[in-house]
A and B are shown apart, each in its own frame.
Chain A
Amino acid sequence: MGVYLGNVGQVELTRKSLEGSKDSLVNPSDVNAVANRFSFDFNEGFLITGDLVELATTDGTDLDFVDATGWDGGVVQTSGNWYVYIDQLGGVKLYDTFANSLDGSATGLISLTAIARDIPIRASIRDRDARILACVINYELNTNREAVDITCLSDEYRQQYSSLISGSGRLTAEWDYTNNDGDETVHYLMQLVLRTEIGSSFHAKLYIKKQDSAAAGGPFDVGTQTNDSLWWEFDALVTGSATSFASGQIIQSGIEFVATGPIRLRAQTTPGDKMLQETGDEILLEQGAGNALLLEGE
C-alpha cells in the first residue's frame, strides 16, 4: 500500500453565486469614460475583484457604455462577460482576464464610452474558471450521514434508516491578496463571507491526490498512477473566517465552510480521450489554454 503525504493534495475553487443576480440601473453620471470606471447601485461586497460578471441590459438595448473595443468582433451587444476590479469607492472597472483584474492596472482594462440615457442592467456572477487556491497549508472535510432510528416494538436490535448527507470543513492558507500566477488567494474567501446580497457560495474541488503526484513510499506505479487524481467536489458556503497575526509569524487565514447539495468523491484513473477537430487540433474550452473538450468515458 502506498503512503501519501498531504503534499499531493490541493484545493481548487470556482467562483459562483447560488443566489441569483442583481438588477440595477446605470445612469449617464455613473460612467466615467476617462477613468474607464462605472458604477451602479449595489451593496458593498456584491462584487469582488476577480469575479467574472455577466452584464446584460434588461430592456433589449445594447450595452453601449462598454466601448466597441471591449467586445469580441468589435460589435456592441446586449450582454457580455468581463472580469471586474472593484476600487476603494465601489467603482467597477472591467478587464479581459482574471489576472489583469486582480492587478487593477491599465493592462487589459476595457474602455468605456459616455452614455446619454439610463441603461437597466442585470449583473450575474458566472461560474466558469476553476482555479487553484494558493498557499493552502491544510484542509479538512467532514462528511456525515444522518441516521433515523426506526426501531419498533418487539425489535431486539436498534434499526437505523439512512437519511440526509451533509458536509463541512475548514482550510487554512497563508494570506495574500495580489495576483499570484492566476491562482486564487484566501483573501477572496475572506471577502466572500462578507458578501450579503448573493450569498457566499463557491464550487470546490478538494483534491486528495492531484495529477502529476506520487506516493511518498510504498508500492506506486509511476507509469499508470502518476496522472491519477481523486477529489471531493461540491458547492459550499463560507460560514466563517479567521485571520491570525503574531509577530514574526506568517499571517494565516482559516476558512470554515459547509457543503450544500450533493458531495461527490470522484476519481480519474485513466487519461481522458480528447475530441479533435478535422485538422487534428484540440477543441479548446472557454476556460483557457490547456482546457480541451474530452470524450465521455466508456
Chain B
Amino acid sequence: MAKVYTGRDGRLLIDGTEQIKVTNWSLTGSLEVLETTTLGDDQRSYVPGVQEFSGSATLLYYNDGTGRNDAATALKKVLKIAGVQGTDTVDMRLRLVEGNTNHDVRLTAYITSVSFSAGVGEVSSAQISFQGTGALTGVTI
C-alpha cells in the first residue's frame, strides 16, 4: 500500500527509550571519496573512503507526570561537571513507524552539542546534535 511518511510516524529512541516530546530529528550520512584519477583518464574516478554519520534533534523541555524529562537527560550528556568520557556514548535509533513495522537507523553516537533557551512567548526546548562513532549498528529502512 502506498505510504507517505510524516512527522506522525517519527520516533526517536535513546538507549532503547522512546523519547517524549520530540519535535524533529534529522540524520546526515556522508562518505568521503578518494580520487584515483590518473593521467590519461578521460573521467575522474574515486574509491570509497571513510563514512560519517551525524544528526540533530529537538526535544521540548518537558516534565511528564512522573518527573521524567528526556530533554534534561540529553542535555546532561554534555552539561556535566565531570567531563565527557569515552564511555559516554548513546545508542540512537531514528525511527519511522509503519503499523507494526519499524524503519530504523541505529548508531552509536556522542552528543556533541546541546542548547536550550527560554524566550518570551516561546516554549523552551533543547536542541541536540550528535556525531556517530563507528559503523551503523542497524539499518532497517
Contact = CB atoms under 8 A, between A and B. Distances in A.
Interface of A: 146, 148, 150-156, 161, 163-164
Nearest to B96: A153
Contacts of A155: 7-8
5 contacts: A148-B121, A153-B8, A153-B10, A161-B123, A164-B121
Contact of B121 (A150, A152, A154, A163): A163
Contacts of A153: 7-8, 10-12, 22-25
* Pairs A-B, 10 closest by C-beta atoms: A153-B10, A153-B22, A148-B123, A152-B21, A164-B121, A163-B121, A153-B7, A152-B23, A150-B123, A152-B22
A110 B20 CA distance: 70
A161 B12 CA distance: 22
Nearest to A147: B121
B11 A154 contact: yes
B8 A156 contact: yes
Contacts of A163: 121-122
A154 B10 contact: yes
A87 B24 CA distance: 64
Interface string B1-40: 0000001111110000000111111000000000000000
Chain B interface residue number, banded: 10 to 19
Interface string B119-131: 0111100000000
Contacts of B11: 153-154
A286 B120 CA distance: 39
Contact of A152 (B60, B97, B120, B122): B60
Interface in B100-141: 120-123
A101 B108 CA distance: 79
Contacts of B20: 152
A150 B9 contact: no
A40 B72 CA distance: 58
A27 B77 CA distance: 67
A153 B94 CA distance: 11
A146 B123 CA distance: 12
A146 B121 contact: yes
Contacts of B7: 151, 153-155
A174 B9 CA distance: 60
Contacts of A161: 123
Interface string B61-101: 00000000000000000000000000000000000010000
Contacts of A156: 8
Contacts of B10: 153-154
A281 B20 CA distance: 65
Contact of A154 (B8, B60, B120, B122): B8
B14 to A, nearest CB: 13
B9 A154 contact: yes
Nearest to B7: A153
B138 to A, nearest CB: 19
A156 B23 CA distance: 13
Nearest to A148: B123
A151 B60 CA distance: 10
Given A151-B23, A163-B122, 11 more contacts: A148-B121, A148-B123, A150-B60, A152-B22, A152-B23, A153-B23, A154-B8, A154-B11, A155-B7, A155-B8, A163-B121
Contacts of B24: 153
A164 B120 CA distance: 8
B9 A148 contact: no
A123 B8 CA distance: 61
Nearest to B24: A153
A67 B121 CA distance: 53
A154 to B, nearest CB: 6
A144 to B, nearest CB: 12
Q: Which of A152, A153, A163, A164 has the most CB of B within 10 A?
A: A153
Contacts of A146: 121
A3 to B, nearest CB: 38
